[in-house]
Amino acid sequence: MSVKAERATGKRDARRTGSVPTSWTPKCFQRSGACGVITAAPRCSHRAHAAPVPKASSQFLVTATVSRTLAERIEDLLPQTQCTKCGYPACRPYAEAIAAGEANYNQCPPGGAEGIARLAALLGKPVIPLDTTHGEERARPLAVIDENVCIGCTLCMQACPVDAIAGAAKQMHTVIAELCTGCDLCVPPCPVDCIAMVPVTGERTGWDAWSQQEADAARARHDRRLTRLERERAAAEARANARQASRTAQAEPKAQEKPEAPAAHEDPEAKKRAIIQAALERARKKKEEMASLGAGPKNTAQVSAAVQAQIDAAEERRRRLGLTDDENAPHSGNGDKSAR
């Protein structure tokens, strides 16, 4: 077919863009050296282009559905209130526990009897009654905060698994009714007991009181919240690590700058104190020897004021050097020096 003819039929453009007009037979459009082989089958017969040509997109939808894990398919059937009544921290862990054979499929009160029937059909098991140790099937409630009593402690916000409460520290909090799944989780943490769960679906319970769209939306909000919490946790950890690194970096130069304590024999002050101490010790021994011979100092009562001042100054220096003890403590003024 000539170029002109191809343009006229749109086949040339289709070859360039890869779009296949429905009016003509599947054909290989490999960009370099399009082989031009026209086939009736969805697979090009050209050996170099043996990859399958996509059929309808539904084929891929079917494949994707089949490849979902059992836990994912179980989770798809759960009401996603994230209430933890099943004994697991959220719907997803409960689904995984059922898939692993670790939990029974009748532990979800928000799903109620219909939820059990859905799971039983998926699992190929009989429909059994709800295990009421996990709670009763009931009309769906909505959390309502008494805003006159709320003290703005944020505890309910932190407990809400789907971010359905708006507020800030020391501010009034309020429930966004459209987002509330009725999970009850905000009630216990409230220190002033100002949250009431008000039934809003009349006689309707379980899946009759809850739509698939609401479940999907709650699931998405819960997933977003987990992502946000993980991001905040990672950011807090990074900040803590940065602070620690900064403290370490500041401490290290100081440690390097700090001079090493000189050894005692290199410290001039210590050396001086040792010499003085030794001299005092010699003097004390000499005094004891003299006293034992009855030859102690005789002129202790006749010390002039000038000399006494010198003595006091010396004693003061010794005291500053830490060389005095009670026995050697200076005596003020002209007191009795006989003890020395």
CB 107 within 8 A of CB 131: yes
The 49-78 site mask, x for binding ligand SF4 (CB under 6 A), equals: -----------------------------x
Cα–Cα dist 55/116, whole Å: 37
Residue with tokens 């003061």: 316
- Tell me if 119 contacts ligand SF4 by CB under 6 A: no
Neighbouring C-beta atoms of residue 183, cutoff 10 Å: 24
Cα–Cα dist 275/298, whole Å: 27
Q: Tell me how far, at minimum, the Cβ of 228 lies from ligand SF4, in Å.
A: 15
CB 187 within 8 A of CB 118: no
Residue 66 is which amino acid?
A: V
Which of residues 81 and 315 has its CB atom nearest to ligand SF4 in the complex?
Answer: 81
Q: Could you say which residues in the range 195-224 bind ligand SF4, by CB under 6 A?
A: 195
Which of residues 206 and 315 has its CB atom nearest to ligand SF4 in the complex?
Answer: 206
Q: Which helix (H) or strand (E) holds 256?
A: helix 212-257
CB 195 within 8 A of CB 182: no
Instruction: Tell me the sheet residues that pair with 175.
Output: 165
Residue 265 is which amino acid?
A: H
Q: Tell me how far, at minimum, the Cβ of 205 lies from ligand SF4, in Å.
A: 13
- Tell me if 44 contacts ligand SF4 by CB under 6 A: no
Please, which residues have CB within 8 angstroms of residue 3's CB and are 6 or more apart in sequence? Answer: 12
Cα–Cα dist 34/339, whole Å: 121
Choices 27-35, 161-169, 200-208, 331-339; region in contact with ligand SF4 by CB under 6 A: 161-169
CB 80 within 8 A of CB 181: yes
Residue from 74, 98, 190, 209 touching ligand SF4 (CB under 6 A): that is 190
- Tell me if 162 contacts ligand SF4 by CB under 6 A: yes
The 294-313 site mask, x for binding ligand SF4 (CB under 6 A), equals: --------------------
- Tell me if 98 contacts ligand SF4 by CB under 6 A: no
Q: Tell me how far, at minimum, the Cβ of 227 lies from ligand SF4, in Å.
A: 18
CB 337 within 8 A of CB 300: yes
Choices 32-40, 53-61, 180-188, 300-308; region in contact with ligand SF4 by CB under 6 A: 180-188
Which of residues 28 and 180 has its CB atom nearest to ligand SF4 in the complex?
Answer: 180
Q: Which residues of this chain interact with ligand SF4, rule CB under 6 A? A: 78-79, 81-86, 88, 90-91, 94, 108-111, 143, 145, 150-156, 159-160, 162, 164-165, 167, 173, 175, 180-186, 189-190, 192, 194-195
